[in-house]
A and B are shown apart, each in its own frame.
Chain A
Amino acid sequence: MRQALTYQIAGQLDEAAAAYQEVLAQAPSTHDALHMAGAIELTRGNLDKAERLITAAMAVRPSYNAIEHNLRLVHDAKFAALLSKTEDLCERALPILGEFALARGKPHMNSISAEGATSLKKPIHLIGRLDAGESEQSLRRIADLVAPHEPTVWCVGDGIVESAHARNMRRVDAMVGAMPRGGTHVYVGVDYNCASWIDRADADRVIVFCGSAAPSFYIEQLRALARDGSRAIELVFPSQAMAARFGRGHHVLPPPFGVDPHAERVVADVPMQESDARTERSIGVIGQARDSVADATDVDLLRALAGAGPLRIYDPGRLRYSLGTNARVRFIPRRRDGIAEFVARTTCFVHRAATWWTEPAHQELFAAMAASIPVLCPSSSIFAEYIDDGVDGMFYVTDAECVAKVTDLMREPTRAVEMGRAARTKAMRLFDLQQLSRRYAALLCGDRVEPAVAPPSSAELVLER
């Protein structure tokens, strides 16, 4: 038993597992051997076997905290695996949902210009969640962009109703009939529950700004908003790549991101030596804004990045426990409007994407571009189309490629500055306040808008089985 434990501590799992089996062959009810053998299977990802062994250990030695803890870990892992399979299934259903279940009626299209639409005074209701997160930022920003059209902002849930738009801000309360009615309903995000009132919220037109949410949630929520296909809804996506996952014929607009044109850039507008000093040539990444982002692979990548240069992790979450002892890693807690300050202090920003629905929000990526920071972006990211590889950022496919490119960039600060400058120019163009306001107003007031960037050609959309 002692030998087995030694193997296990040394990370020699095969030897440890074999040693535990020897123990169990002689004494099948040795709870420590059952427990530890189960823990090894948990590490290996053999969850059924791990559950069997640890449950057997528990039967021999009930009420033992360590065993209970590991059994809980097994159950958590099984649940996560189940969830991921369900989301995979639902992801495959999204193009079907988008192409036929939501497109029953004709989408609202006319030729009224944004200026012409203003005179119609069709009421606009913006509906979303005040959650101090991505949804709230998008809701408030869209309200700003279409402020001349005097939208009413409806808060779903328990968020605090206070903002510059407070006079036009209301809370949905189905019990007293307080809900948007008539005009254009603009749902910002889909991560809230509207089942109790959606059937009564009649609208002339329904638009949904799609943000981060799991595919299963999308199916449920979009079906509810479209009343199972009995009314047409229009979907707006922040990128072509994301829109393509929901079938064809959707709107694409740059996300409602704000760039302060007067804000001084740390790197781009100062001489190289100074910029090096001010930024400390660090690498920035977003930590664990959503639980599913960080796993063992992430930790390996982050360790490797820390080898390439000082690493700053914004909103680290559980990564604190994995990387807390690494002297080259600094953790920056998430706080309101803290992202701009965070990215501005980095030399390059590494964007990560596990699945598109767990991909960190656009805010961080565009904040980096706006702050003249080159972004290393997975070519699989739904925001990759906003980056010109080698011009204002770089693509990577594998973690090794990411580390290699970051290492090169850290050694070539001039190149980083050039890329950063190009990134800021692009961000200024994409998020020009007047242009963005006009495009958002045009969409919300009746016009169909052109895609923000060239749509992918059929050759660029790789078909997989």
Chain B
Amino acid sequence: MYSASHDRRVRAIAFYLPQFHPIPENDRWWGEGFTEWTNVSKAKPNFVGHYQPHLPADSGFYDLRVPEVREQQAALAREHGIHGFCYYYYWFAGKRLLERPLEEMRISGAPAFPYCLCWANENWTRRWDGAEGEVLIAQNPSRADDERLIRDLLPHFRDPRYIRVHGKPLLIVYRVGVLPDVRASASIWRDVCRREGIGDIYLCAAKTYDTSDPARYGFDAIVEFPPHGVRTPPVNAQVQITNPDFDGTIVDYRRYVIDSLARLDPAWVVHRTAMPGWDNAARRPDHALTFIHATPEIYEVWLRELVARTVEKRVPEERLLFINAWNEWAEAAHLEPDQRYGRQYLEATQRALSDALVCGAPFARFSARAAIA
């Protein structure tokens, strides 16, 4: 394997939600002035000990239209060892949404912080989960859109801050399964990029509902996307439910981590992903998927193990590791400081990543051997 290499650096990339600012479409669908904070702040506990709402600490209820906020986020991430952000790219057959923070970041060149994109190619629905339901704006994927999409992305691929693997710009597609002919799409994207002087691109499929060997799609790798693929049995019976209308699912975060670590690596390249926690009670109060027992130290154990495996299994250029997410506040998946844990998740991330740079075991356990009096 590759752990003997002197370069033990792992590039940690945090998924970044460019919401947190009002847009006309959301005003129309959800009411004037709607942002993600609207849901976040009104979340309520569903059971005894349920940690809700998650409220921001250092950053407050920020607005991503403000450049200083974006600068502060990048500084905080950099300070804690995070290599870059992966912005969700909302593109619906030529129509873009929530594009302002990203466009301003690209045009201004600030913050000077690496980034890449994940095409969030699923419908927006009233249910917030991309599944069937009342569709607010649909993808309606068609072959004709392939070239339009990739040309839309070219300015980003040319940006010196854009994250590359083997010199190829990294692009993640959230749901490859909904594309009518994903192999053809991948081929077109690669052709256009070559013709435009970008060269080849490094295509990753998010491991969401329907992914397997990336070669089947003409892709290079898979990116894990927890909590997708959760098969951990629910533990609803272990808590005292206080919301009589609750019919959601409660899962033990620790058990999920154990399942994740027990998963065998397939023959193809899978970039591993950890999440600090997950609970979408802010979006779906009565039907939430909620992970309990998520704490910074358990997250750190998980991340350390993923770092160690990434170093062991991947060549230096492919040592990517993802974190879901930087600021998914409505899914309780955020590294950004909250009022309960402060910066503990950021510090855990920093420690897990920086220890990987120290030669030897990235995680040490004391054996039971004791000193003799």
B371 adjacent to A241 (CB under 8 Å) = yes
Q: Flag A228-246 by CB within 8 Å of B: 1 or 0 each.
A: 1110000000011100110
A96 and B348 within 8 A (CB): yes
Contact between B365 and A464, CB atoms less than 8 A apart: yes
Q: Which of B295, B347, B348, B370 contacts A219 (CB 8 A)?
A: B295
A385 within 8 A of B: yes
Q: Out of B293, B365, B366, B373, name the residue touching A453 (CB < 8 Å).
A: B373
Alpha-carbon distance A229/B296, docked complex (angstroms): 11
**Interface centre among B257, B296, B364, B373, by most A CB within 10 Å?**
B373
Question: Is there contact, CB below 8 Å, between A229 and B365?
Answer: no
B341 at interface by CB-CB < 8 Å: yes
| B297 in complex: contacting residue of A97, A387, A455, A463, CB < 8 Å | A97
Is there a chain A Cβ closer than 8 Å to B188's Cβ? Answer: no
Tell me if A465 counts as interface (CB < 8 A to partner B).
Answer: yes
Residue-wise interface mask of B (333-364) relative to A, using a CB-CB cutoff of 8 A (1 in contact, 0 not): 00000001110100110010000000001011
A307 to chain B, nearest CB (A): 27
With known contacts A93-B298, A93-B301, A229-B344, A456–B367 Cβ distance under 8 A: no
B197: CB under 8 A from chain A? no
Residue of B nearest to A91 (CB): B365
Provide the residues of chain B in CB contact with A85, threshold 8 Å.
258
Query: In the complex, A219→B254 CA distance in Å?
Result: 12
| Cα–Cα, bound, A101→B351 (Å) | 13
Q: Decide if A461 is an interface residue (CB 8 Å cutoff).
A: yes
**Is B368 within 8 A of A382, CB to CB?**
yes
Q: How far does the alpha carbon of A461 sit from the alpha carbon of B369 in the complex, in Å?
A: 7
Residues on the B chain within 8 Å of A382, using CB: 368, 370
Residues 173-213 of B contacting A (Cβ, < 8 Å): none
Alpha-carbon gap, A229 to B365, bound state (A): 23
Q: Give the contacting residue for A463; candidates B258, B364, B372; CB below 8 A.
A: B364
Q: Using a Cβ cutoff of 8 Å, how many contacts connect chains A and B? A: 123
Indicate if B122 sits at the interface (CB-CB under 8 A): no
B373 lies within 8 A of A388 (CB): yes
Q: Which residues of B contact A135 (CB under 8 A)?
A: none
A244–B347 alpha-carbon span in the complex (Å): 21
Known: A100-B344, A228-B340, A453-B373. A380 touches B301 (CB 8 A): no
Residues of B within 8 A of A229 (CB): 341-342, 344
Q: Give every chain A residue within 8 A of B369 (Cβ-Cβ).
A: 241, 379-380, 384, 460-462
8 Å CB contact of B364 from A100, A101, A464: A464
* Chain B residues closer than 8 Å to A91, beta-carbon distance: 365
Q: Which residues of A in the span 424-465 have a Cβ within 8 Å of any Cβ on B?
A: 453-457, 460-465
Closest-by-CB residue of A relative to B367 is A462
Partner of B258, one of A89, A381, A453: A89
Query: Are B296 and A86 in contact, with the CB atoms below 8 A?
Result: no
Given known pairs A92-B363, A388-B373, the reply for A241 and B255 (CB within 8 Å) is no
A455 to B372, CA, bound (A): 9
Give the complex CA separation of A85 and B258 in angstroms. Answer: 7
Residues of chain B contacted by A86 (CB below 8 angstroms) = 252, 254-255, 258
Task: Determine whether the beta carbon of A89 is less than 8 Å from that of B298.
Answer: yes
A424 CB to nearest B CB, Å: 15
B254 vs chain A, min Cβ distance (A): 5
Q: How far is the CA of A385 from the CA of B257 in the complex (A)?
A: 34
Tell me whether A454 and B371 are in contact (CB under 8 A).
yes
Whether A216 sits at the interface, judged by CB under 8 Å, is yes
- Chain B nearest CB from A275 CB (Å) reads 26
CB interface residues, A 68-119, toward B, < 8 Å: 82, 85-86, 89-97, 100-101
Find the residue from A82, A96, A220, A386 having the highest chain B CB count within 10 A. A96
Q: How far is the CB of A306 from chain B (nearest CB, A)?
A: 26
- Partner of A100 from B347, B361, B368 at Cβ < 8 Å: B347
Q: In the complex, what distance in Å separates the CA atom of A382 from the CA atom of B367?
A: 10
Report Cα–Cα, A378/B351, bound state, in Å: 34
- Contact across chains for A380 and B367 when beta carbons are under 8 A apart: yes
Does B49 have its Cβ within 8 Å of any Cβ on chain A?
A: yes
Instruction: Flag if A96 contacts B300 (CB, 8 Å).
Output: yes
The residue of chain B having its C-beta at the shortest distance from the C-beta of A397 within the complex is B369
A90 contacts B373, C-beta separation under 8 Å = no
User: How many whole Å from A30's CB to the nearest CB in chain B?
Assistant: 30
Q: Kindly list chain B residues whose C-beta atoms are within 8 Å of the C-beta of A220.
A: 293
Q: How far is A95 from B368 in the complex, measured between Cα atoms in Å?
A: 14
| Contact present for A461 and B254 (CB under 8 Å) | no
- Give complex CA distance A101, B49 in Å: 19
B-to-A contact residues, CB < 8 Å = 49, 252, 254-255, 257-258, 293, 295-298, 300-301, 340-342, 344, 347-348, 351, 361, 363-373
Other A-B pairs beyond A461-B366, A463-B361, 6, CB < 8 Å: A93-B301, A96-B351, A216-B254, A240-B371, A388-B373, A460-B371
Q: List 9 A-B contacts (CB under 8 A).
A: A86-B254, A89-B257, A93-B297, A93-B301, A96-B300, A101-B296, A219-B295, A464-B365, A465-B363
